[in-house]
Amino acid sequence: MGLCGESVIAYALICFFTAWIMQEMTGTLRTMFVAFLGLLHKVYACGMLAGVVLTTTKVSEFLSAMNRLHAPKKLVIPLAVMLRYLPTVGEDWRYIKDAMRMRDIFPSVRGFLTAPGMTVECIYVPFMMAASKAADELSIAAVTRGIENPKPRTCLVQIRLGITDAAAVLLFLGYFAAGLYLGRSI
C-alpha cells in the first residue's frame, strides 16, 4: 500500500475515533478529545495536501503556472522556495537522526524525557543550524536562477487547466457554498 493509501486509512481512523468518542464519552474528557480531534481533522487534511503537492509539483512548473495566473511575486517566491525547502529539511532531519542513533541518542518522546539536555544539544540544535543553512542556500540559489526576473517565465511543459482541474474547482466551490449555507443556519 502506498503512502496515499496509508494517509487515507489514518484519516479514516481519526474520523472513526471522533465519532466513537462523541457517542461514548461525556464531560470534560469528551470535550478535550473532540477539540483535539477536531483540530487534527483540519491539520491532517492540510498535511496530506501538502505532501501531495510537495511530491508531485516541480518548482519550474509551479512558477510557470503562477506566472500565467498573474499571481504576485511576493506570494510566489516564498512558496517556490518552500517547495524546495521542506524536502531538504526532511532529508537533513533523517541524516541527523541516523547520526544520533549511532551515538545511542534517540529523537523520540522517550529519549527527550530520559535525557532532555542531550536530546536538545545533539539533535535539535544541529537540526536548527541545518535548517537555517538550507534556507540561506536555497534563497541564494533561487535568486541565482533568476526567480526575481521580471520577464515572463518559459517552461517546456504545457501548463493548462484540464477537465480534472475544473471538476476539482467545482467540487471545492460546492463544499465552500454548502459550508457558508450551513454556517449561517446554525
Is 164 within a domain? no
Confidence of residue 1 (pLDDT cuts 50, 70, 90): very low
User: Are residues 51 and 27 part of one domain?
Assistant: yes
- At residue 145, the 3 state secondary structure works out as coil
* pLDDT tens-digit map of 107-147: 777 877 888 888 888 888 888 899 899 888 888 888 887 77
What is the model's pTM?
0.62
User: Are residues 29 and 9 part of one domain?
Assistant: yes
User: Are residues 103 and 42 part of one domain?
Assistant: no
User: Are residues 130 and 77 part of one domain?
Assistant: yes
Phi and psi of 108, rounded to 5°? Answer: -140, 175
User: Are residues 119 and 38 part of one domain?
Assistant: no
Is 174 within a domain? no
pLDDT of 2 strictly over 70:
no
Q: Please tell me the total count of domains within the chain.
A: 2
User: Are residues 52 and 68 part of one domain?
Assistant: no
* pLDDT tens-digit map of 63-111: 888 888 888 888 888 888 888 888 888 899 899 888 888 888 777 778 7
User: Are residues 87 and 43 part of one domain?
Assistant: no
114-to-22, 68, 105, 107, 117 alpha-carbon distances in Å: 35, 53, 10, 11, 9
- Cell numbers representing residue 54 in the block: 510537495
* pLDDT tens-digit map of 14-38: 888 888 888 888 888 888 888 888 8
